[in-house]
Structure 1
């Protein structure tokens, strides 16, 4: 028995010893790590082969030795462990080298529901490689560069960028979540409105996509503030972009935003050219009524410009010139999450005279038109010397923190400089120097917190300066003026989506506006300096509702403003807003809008005879006394028909504006400086018929306005508004054939009102010192009708694979008709009445050349 046990123990001991030897040998053959270069030398001796390789590729690598004794299997194991490629040259020689391509795979899913997203586009940037994910959201790509960037896109989702190296060597394949894109887009009622890139939205606002914008008569470049004047109800009574009149309102009653920053200067060359680069402007929204509660200020309109806001993985840009200026712009990707955007423009007016510049200059400086009242045929010879130039530049930083949060930083600088010397025949000289500057910068943070909740935070600082010097009568009298505006603001929007039918917007906005006005006269000595500051806190809330059949869309909300002038007053002003659209049928829609709005900033228009009539506008703040808060109420009803390329639209509106002062309205009679407070009301209608096809678009628009002032302290107390243009008609057409675009248009409007002096000796009141002019009833006369025909043409062509070029030519006022834009009167040194006429641009040609890459 004992012997049997001893034999069992002996057998077990031997078995354990053999197993120990076996597993020890197995572990040694599979887990031992050796330097790859040394291992290859062993293989060369063992199998009588030779390996060629780059030392730097092999020396750092270590591998686990293969337990196989077959050379091909050993080499396959080396490939799997090192990602090196082993190529057999002949029976004895092998080559090892790095392969810069890899195989990647992934599974694309919805970030929230984890639902598999079929049909997503997977692209290898800077190559022609692209595929769609299969039904289960899977994809597989071979021979992809290791350092490639993979872009994954899907309709309704945010685009995602991934390094190719993150998608290899994983089993199972990587799961790639895509975040939903929750941007709420308004339904487009009319896609092509007049020309490509112009569209009318469901809330009756007009949207301009500058990249797709087609040609318009008289324009060879997409000047934003010139383009909007092609729309019914929007015109400039003096042919400038710095004095845009929307439904009978003054220019200072327009809220002009650039990347969410309020602009106090909008034009170059005294308003003849827009100060905003159109080639980086991505979208422009124009709102005449039914404004969203998130917007304060701007009782006549909102003009919101947004620059390009999306990161691109490639550089794009362009440059060009015309007979006034040259410009360049571009966007440079710094990383996949960071890009820099820039634009710059400068005039050539200080070193190059062109026909366009001469026509612009003649319009801006028209004192040579002065005639003596007793001898209208007598004109004074005037010699002029000028040094004039303008420039603007912008910069923007685009940074995506992640796919749910985006940071944007924007900067703009606008500058006009003028030094003007005028010598009259008796050697009397008058000199004007003017510097106009607007510097603004701001930033925003856009966040998507959940599938239904998002926020938008915006902050900015803007400063406007007007510094002017006027030297009269050979240095005898000097006048210095300074107008300075600064504004700081923060704004927070939150948006919650209850469902596809109901969204809720809430927000808060704070604005601090300070304005300084100073005047210094040497003879007689006089100095005045005033500064005021207003704080405005605003809370707003708004609901957007869309019916299940999408026929009814309603946006209703309110804005409550707490306004505090640090020197004088405190006010609480509520502002209800309403916007309704309803589809009566597939092709007929009706719109109803209404709003209450207010504003505390205005432009004072005075000192008509100073600065040669060039720049007369200075920003001022309400004090709720001599300059009240301006308040407006507006309602409108519209009907639109759109079928088979034919659009017909008609809209009627009523607007009343209270708290209007005569010093902000541009009076040029005895009421100019009195400061009476009153109101104006406008009743009007806008009609448009537009026929469009793939090759042409033609339209006829008609605007009718009755615009009257009411001032209790003026006799008579009700009379036509200075901007009372009763009738305005535009007939225009554009034609497109491949790269060629042609546009021709004719504009007619009735004359604006003005006030004449009394006849004969009654025209001058000599009982005062200095003498003054006695006028007839305010705005009891009208200028002749205004008629202007314009034409333009552009041609697009390619200059190589990546460069597109455009040449253009335009002529403003083809008929060279002299349209009188304004007439005012003044007394000369001999107490004689002088008539000053402001005429329109004469025939004005322009050409341009642009490249885009």
Structure 2
């Protein structure tokens, strides 16, 4: 029958309108479509039959046009249910194509012998060889599901391209597809996650990320499933995880998968590329902070190796960006003393990932990471008319390795064995010339982990996951003074056995998704049993409207404390400690959140309300700098909050606005009978961002505004009593509002057939605003002194990268 007649009937049946020029459909005959087709299936049928393009302009208008010359088209679907796979990627070298929400893709300027690798979350990759297909009509590609990755994209382009919300309530950042963010040249993971509502850093560092009002030590940070106890270079100003080798990031604010322990506030899990690479590629780059390189090396047909490394360039030159970073970390500590000299700072990181595909059923993965920060300076003083100099230093380092063995027993059952060892060390030597004294401090963490995971596909709607997890954590703290002789060495070990189970269920139409799981933990030192339920439910009310409910119980055995504000020369003040199930309790949390999302025509509106309570926190872990500074007690905090995000794309433009509201209160009965605002209670926070992409040029601009951090001030007019600061009620005041504007730009250049160039520039804090991020008070003799800590100032950065 004539296509014209089919279109007229479809307009009446589905309430849509087809727009086309008469000569486009003139004389085209097609087979009659089935009566039970949905409008989406009908469009696919008509495209296949007519060899025309059907583009949905909105819910009711569909545009029909000819295929351009030298253009082919196709659909990517699941081999299980034949449903479209949205946002699958087709990769050929550095050229990437993304399928739309109906799995439809187009390839222009192709050659008949071209090959593309097709990847989609939750499915196995496949190679598309064009010579194997009829290129004169749209064809269909079927991807096999991968039961190791069950979560599917729920909302794409959540903030910007490359960021997706999954149907288990988590967020995924695909570094390869990631678009530019304001103020960043590279996809710095721990800075990038702060674009999400409800996540920020009150101290403007990646070593103090606050997820829904929690302290940084309450975040579980994983690198290829290895727990890391260090976050940043430059003592927290940039992430220590090289973005060149990090390919995917999973972020959980709630509803965490039962396979994960710890992280009562949130989980940030980073992953290297999981596929076996068969072609060599790499890059070298430099910016005003570091030089870096990356290589992806195929080792035969069954193995590949990825290597990445970075090193600061401060050995060779001191750039404006370095000067601003150093100025930031040297505030209000011994580095700021004018008599100190010969300051040297250096950092590096090196990481690798090796995959060996033994056969179709067995695979080995090896990961290794080594990170170091070193700061050395001379403390100078004139003693008996003689100038004397002694060296002080502080270093922070991590080294970790992990091995994974994956076994696919059959099409429905597979197992994974994960083993890792992670070691962290913070050490300082403080020279006191006047007292002829040397003060050595160390904080070390050594953790061994073994985890076994089994995954079983039950039917087309459900999967089950079971597992066992053993961890042994040792924390050592050392204080060593030579004059007068004093040494305190404390080393503690804790072993935990855990078992977990989860049922993943979804309807055949994929509108409803449920993850229900339980995690059981046994701490042998205390003979303590802990049961933790986890829940994630998402449901699509329509193609545009969805709701979600998330909940979890979690615990953790480690936390960071501050003994004295001048610990580790005041550059790094926090040391890890283990719970003793008494004065240092096991930290436990419970959280519930409800959200609604509207996603239609490149417009997104997302609102989520939540409640979180965390018990067992210690006053030493919260960084008090008032009359509670030396208190040693435990308590809890409660948070009520709302996370809001709206985003709109206009062709080359992308705009987003996020807002978070929080009411975060401490309850320390021994310190203050009533609750009082948390040190991380940022009541209102707003982020506005925009990006523009045209051809090979990307530009981003954004602003961050938030209310000031809570502050305990001395009572005005009666601020000092009996040589002691007389404070008002705890955290009854707040700092001035924080405001920052950032810019960044990237340009891509074809240098040759196999060489690409990437050039970038960014400015952090364009207006150079001196934001006060912390304020505290001290007595000098009998006088009250106000001390302010300022944010980063105007930080320019430029970068150049060659890709090959």
TM-score (norm 2): 0.80
1:696-735 alignment runs, 5 A limit: 696-735=653-692
Q: 1: CA distance between counterparts of 2:664 and 2:144?
A: 52
CA distance 1:530–1:304, shift in 2 (3 Å)? same
* 1:594 aligns to 2:546 (yes or no): no
Partner secondary structure for residue 335 of structure 1: coil
Asked whether the equivalents of residues 429 and 474 of structure 1 are also in contact (C-alpha less than 8 Å), the reply is no
* 1:485 aligns to 2:445 (yes or no): yes
Aligned to 1:447: 407
Aligned to 1:775: 727
* 1:510 aligns to 2:470 (yes or no): yes
CA distance 1:740–1:425, shift in 2 (3 Å)? farther
Asked whether the equivalents of residues 394 and 569 of structure 2 are also in contact (C-alpha less than 8 Å), the reply is no
Asked whether the equivalents of residues 340 and 377 of structure 2 are also in contact (C-alpha less than 8 Å), the reply is no
CA distance 1:761–1:637, shift in 2 (3 Å)? closer
Aligned to 2:244: 279
* 1:321 aligns to 2:286 (yes or no): yes
Aligned to 1:797: 749
Aligned to 1:841: 792
Q: 1: CA distance between counterparts of 2:642 and 2:117?
A: 49
Aligned to 2:509: 549
Q: 1: CA distance between counterparts of 2:172 and 2:437?
A: 50
What are the Cα deviations for residues 136-185 of structure 1, in whole angstroms up to 9, with x where unaligned? xxxxxxxxxxxxxx999999667699xxxxxxxxxxxxxxxx99754444
Q: 1: CA distance between counterparts of 2:775 and 2:391?
A: 23
The one of 767, 777, 796 equivalent to 1:825 is 777
* 1:347 aligns to 2:347 (yes or no): no
Segment drifting more, 414-423 vs 201-210: 414-423
Aligned to 1:23: none
The one of 573, 596, 604 equivalent to 2:530 is 573
The one of 216, 224, 227 equivalent to 2:192 is 227
What are the Cα deviations for residues 524-564 of structure 1, in whole angstroms up to 9, with x where unaligned? 54321111111010000010110133221111010000013
The one of 633, 641, 646 equivalent to 1:689 is 646
Partner secondary structure for residue 185 of structure 2: coil
Q: 1: CA distance between counterparts of 2:231 and 2:569?
A: 21
Cα shift at 1:629 = 0.2
Partner secondary structure for residue 496 of structure 2: strand
Aligned to 1:632: 589
The one of 492, 501, 511 equivalent to 1:532 is 492
Cα shift at 1:473 = 4.8
Aligned to 1:98: none
Q: 2: CA distance between counterparts of 1:368 and 1:711?
A: 29
Asked whether the equivalents of residues 441 and 568 of structure 2 are also in contact (C-alpha less than 8 Å), the reply is no
Asked whether the equivalents of residues 468 and 480 of structure 1 are also in contact (C-alpha less than 8 Å), the reply is yes
1:186-265 alignment runs, 5 A limit: 186-265=151-230
Asked whether the equivalents of residues 380 and 424 of structure 1 are also in contact (C-alpha less than 8 Å), the reply is no
Segment drifting more, 284-293 vs 693-702: 693-702
Q: 1: CA distance between counterparts of 2:579 and 2:468?
A: 22
The one of 366, 374, 398 equivalent to 1:409 is 366
Asked whether the equivalents of residues 641 and 661 of structure 2 are also in contact (C-alpha less than 8 Å), the reply is yes
CA distance 1:153–1:668, shift in 2 (3 Å)? closer
Asked whether the equivalents of residues 430 and 474 of structure 1 are also in contact (C-alpha less than 8 Å), the reply is no
CA distance 1:322–1:160, shift in 2 (3 Å)? closer
CA distance 1:685–1:180, shift in 2 (3 Å)? closer
Asked whether the equivalents of residues 317 and 331 of structure 1 are also in contact (C-alpha less than 8 Å), the reply is yes
Q: Which runs of 5+ in 2 are unaligned?
A: 1-78, 81-91, 94-114, 129-142
What are the Cα deviations for residues 642-678 of structure 1, in whole angstroms up to 9, with x where unaligned? 0000000000000000001001111112222221111
The one of 235, 255, 264 equivalent to 1:290 is 255
* 1:363 aligns to 2:328 (yes or no): yes
Q: 2: CA distance between counterparts of 1:515 and 1:521?
A: 20
Asked whether the equivalents of residues 400 and 423 of structure 2 are also in contact (C-alpha less than 8 Å), the reply is yes
Asked whether the equivalents of residues 503 and 545 of structure 1 are also in contact (C-alpha less than 8 Å), the reply is yes
Cα shift at 1:611 = 4.2
Partner secondary structure for residue 361 of structure 1: helix
CA distance 1:689–1:160, shift in 2 (3 Å)? closer
Q: 2: CA distance between counterparts of 1:786 and 1:411?
A: 38
Aligned to 1:12: none
Partner secondary structure for residue 299 of structure 2: strand
What are the Cα deviations for residues 406-445 of structure 1, in whole angstroms up to 9, with x where unaligned? 1001110000001134568998989641111100001001
CA distance 1:220–1:431, shift in 2 (3 Å)? same
What are the Cα deviations for residues 729-785 of structure 1, in whole angstroms up to 9, with x where unaligned? 01110000111111010110000012223456752544xxxxx54433221221100
Aligned to 1:116: none
The one of 618, 632, 640 equivalent to 1:661 is 618
Q: 2: CA distance between counterparts of 1:369 and 1:388?
A: 14
* 1:392 aligns to 2:349 (yes or no): yes
Aligned to 1:786: 738
The one of 590, 602, 607 equivalent to 1:645 is 602
What are the Cα deviations for residues 379-407 of structure 1, in whole angstroms up to 9, with x where unaligned? 98565431110000012221001011110
Asked whether the equivalents of residues 382 and 425 of structure 1 are also in contact (C-alpha less than 8 Å), the reply is no
Asked whether the equivalents of residues 432 and 611 of structure 1 are also in contact (C-alpha less than 8 Å), the reply is no
Q: Which runs of 5+ in 1 are unaligned?
A: 1-111, 114-124, 127-149, 162-177, 371-378, 767-771
What are the Cα deviations for residues 93-144 of structure 1, in whole angstroms up to 9, with x where unaligned? xxxxxxxxxxxxxxxxxxx99xxxxxxxxxxx99xxxxxxxxxxxxxxxxxx
Select the structure of larger CA radius of gyration: 1
